[in-house]
Structure 1
């Protein structure tokens, strides 16, 4: 009967990946290898980000460091060349010299670079964490090879979070079946925004350069819940940024709060001979036209020494993104790597007992 019930849950999980999505969370190589379907799994210190209620099942002690990035090697070189050449434009004397300097720039058009970092620590169900995301992009209009109007610009936005997290069991029945855990995060927020832009108006023959630097501080609050339906099935709920506020020093039209997102997830441990974990999340950003659907699978092999992970999600109605990951599980130490079909790579190391 239990196997039949678990199979029904799995079939329900598999139905949630048929719709388009809008974005994806990428913090943690283990979670991202499973396509970001981690709200109902959340079984290590990264639960601080995915679902703070998961701290109740994350062990006595856990320490995890993670770094992820999306970039193309050629783009990275072009970005560095562009940064190095900014001084040439700034040192030009006349507008005509500045226009010519911009025309000579080897400008990386429509390039994006994402960098994510996470450091988490849990002592039983108490957690501390630091999370940072940096997004760099360039934009270009007009052809500098012609005597016409053009613009060139680059910007970088960093948002960091310092987190204090707590999870607690509010219902603890025998064998932990039917248990209910709640979790909460209190967050200190930091933001930094830098932008440089060059604009030439051919009609007025004017050249304009603009450089922006501004910082922000603020606060935020997350909440989560985790229900152990059976010893093989979990249901998770996460509300990220229940409230948040970013107070920027200067008003450049930047968002003064982080996006509120509600995520509902389920996970099932399949019995032998499959002996794998399958999970799915439905991510619901506030105000978004489409929900984000995640699916993930983890299979341990060779006496649980190796973890194989697969996942998928769709983003912005574009092609479906597939993820994969590999974990090496040693006593007290886990090492994980994840990558996707969109040039994103994530690495993490975990110490826990």
Structure 2
């Protein structure tokens, strides 16, 4: 021991994760809820219901799996999604002795009113075609941490942490009617949820890890997704796709943990060629039945995106998510794919709202 400022590594990591997490428990501060977002879709403003044709189809619209006509395997594909304010907090938290109430409180005061967000995901999976039916199976592990600090005099940390893990599989097939595809996915999921308020005294207490465990609730269940896509050729090299996807039907009851509400999304996509480049233009209207969010603001439900496939290994995209700019890039090689994107979510209160800029990156190894 050099100066008594080196707490146990496990304790330090647990507290850093808690501080770096999680969302304010007031509903007004929460972004529009979505379950598991892929990097490509985020770069396109979240507009993916009618154009899902990769591994994210199992999350957005399983009808997109109908185009899977070859074997594809992803063995390791870590995704990291982090808010801009959290980048600074990571460095500052590493220098804090969380056994000290004073140091912990000082750190919390520095970030009063700054919305913290981090999400990590692994989804190893395999996709293949059997009897002209595209199929996918995968294992999901994901946690999302969000936080907000209030009251600079004696700061309080509002915490919400969600960890999901489980198995899922889906299939998509082309129906006899020309241009019509349908898909179905089955999800067996477990969830752990922590939602609480902690002071600096709570965090610096010796039994804080035990309290985190006591405050965590869990549950498990089974749900399904299904969707359809209809594609119509308009002019040579230009196709229009209309789609509808129903997610989490029936509603997945996790017991004491937050449920996964049934969500109905509409989508439209235009595939064309422009100056020799493959171009996709997409639009989504999410949660049209207002089951997931009571906010019926059309702007929050509307997502717009465009993507261009460049020669060789690259594709670029941009869009609007809740009216905020998004962008992304994919570099694909034989066994490695790198995807990056930036997007923003609206956070705040009913009286004051602002955009929380986020950055997401995924490295995928497979074939």
Report the TM-score, using the length of structure 1 for normalisation: 0.71
Task: Name the residue aligned to 1:296.
Answer: 305
1:159 aligns to 2:131 (yes or no): no
Task: Name the residue aligned to 1:219.
Answer: 221
Q: Write the deviation string for residues 44-83 of structure 1: whole angstroms up to 9, x where unpaired.
A: 122121122222223433344241322332222344556x
Task: Please say if residues 53 and 224 of structure 1, whose CA atoms lie closer than 8 Å, have aligned partners that are also in contact.
Answer: yes
Q: For 2:121 and 2:279, locate their aligned partners in 1 and report how far apart those are by CA, in whole Å.
A: 28
Task: Name the residue aligned to 1:88.
Answer: 100
Task: Please say if residues 24 and 36 of structure 1, whose CA atoms lie closer than 8 Å, have aligned partners that are also in contact.
Answer: no
User: Alpha-carbon deviation of 1:217?
Assistant: 2.0
In structure 1, stretches of 5+ residues that fail to align are 1-20, 90-99, 145-149, 201-208, 249-253, 315-319
Partner residue of 2:126 out of 119, 122, 126: 122
Q: For 1:229 and 1:219, locate their aligned partners in 2 and report how far apart those are by CA, in whole Å.
A: 34
Task: Name the residue aligned to 2:39.
Answer: 29
1:241 aligns to 2:253 (yes or no): no
Show the 5 A alignment for 1:1-353.
22-23=32-33, 27-64=37-74, 65-71=77-83, 72=85, 73-80=87-94, 84-85=97-98, 87-89=99-101, 106-107=108-109, 108-110=111-113, 111-124=115-128, 125-141=135-151, 143-144=152-153, 150-169=154-173, 171-173=175-177, 177-193=178-194, 195=196, 197-198=198-199, 211-212=211-212, 213-230=215-232, 232-242=239-249, 243-248=251-256, 255=258, 257-273=259-275, 275-284=278-287, 285-286=290-291, 287-290=293-296, 291=298, 292-302=301-311, 304-314=312-322, 320-331=323-334, 333-340=336-343, 342-350=356-364
Higher Rg of the two aligned structures: 1
Q: For 1:131 and 1:266, locate their aligned partners in 2 and report how far apart those are by CA, in whole Å.
A: 30
User: Alpha-carbon deviation of 1:104?
Assistant: 5.3
Q: 1:226 to 1:348 in 2, by over 3 A?
A: farther
State how many pairs are aligned: 292
Partner SS state of residue 90, structure 2: helix
User: Alpha-carbon deviation of 1:299?
Assistant: 0.7
Q: For 2:127 and 2:184, locate their aligned partners in 1 and report how far apart those are by CA, in whole Å.
A: 14
User: Alpha-carbon deviation of 1:160?
Assistant: 0.7
User: Alpha-carbon deviation of 1:163?
Assistant: 3.1
Task: Please say if residues 42 and 326 of structure 2, whose CA atoms lie closer than 8 Å, have aligned partners that are also in contact.
Answer: yes
Q: Write the deviation string for residues 129-154 of structure 1: whole angstroms up to 9, x where unpaired.
A: 4141312313322x53xxxxx45224
Q: For 2:137 and 2:252, locate their aligned partners in 1 and report how far apart those are by CA, in whole Å.
A: 20
Task: Name the residue aligned to 1:13.
Answer: none
The farther-off stretch of 239-248 and 222-231 is: 222-231
Task: Please say if residues 39 and 51 of structure 1, whose CA atoms lie closer than 8 Å, have aligned partners that are also in contact.
Answer: yes
Query: RMSD of aligned C-alpha atoms?
Result: 3.1
Task: Please say if residues 108 and 155 of structure 2, whose CA atoms lie closer than 8 Å, have aligned partners that are also in contact.
Answer: no
Partner SS state of residue 286, structure 2: strand
Q: Write the deviation string for residues 96-145 of structure 1: whole angstroms up to 9, x where unpaired.
A: xxxx787656533234122131414133213224141312313322x53x
User: Alpha-carbon deviation of 1:333?
Assistant: 4.8
Q: 1:81 to 1:215 in 2, by over 3 A?
A: farther
User: Alpha-carbon deviation of 1:312?
Assistant: 0.8
Q: For 2:332 and 2:187, locate their aligned partners in 1 and report how far apart those are by CA, in whole Å.
A: 31
Report the TM-score, using the length of structure 2 for normalisation: 0.69
Q: For 2:222 and 2:319, locate their aligned partners in 1 and report how far apart those are by CA, in whole Å.
A: 29
The farther-off stretch of 42-51 and 112-121 is: 112-121
Q: For 2:273 and 2:88, locate their aligned partners in 1 and report how far apart those are by CA, in whole Å.
A: 46
Task: Please say if residues 181 and 226 of structure 1, whose CA atoms lie closer than 8 Å, have aligned partners that are also in contact.
Answer: yes
In structure 2, stretches of 5+ residues that fail to align are 1-30, 129-134, 202-207, 234-238, 345-355
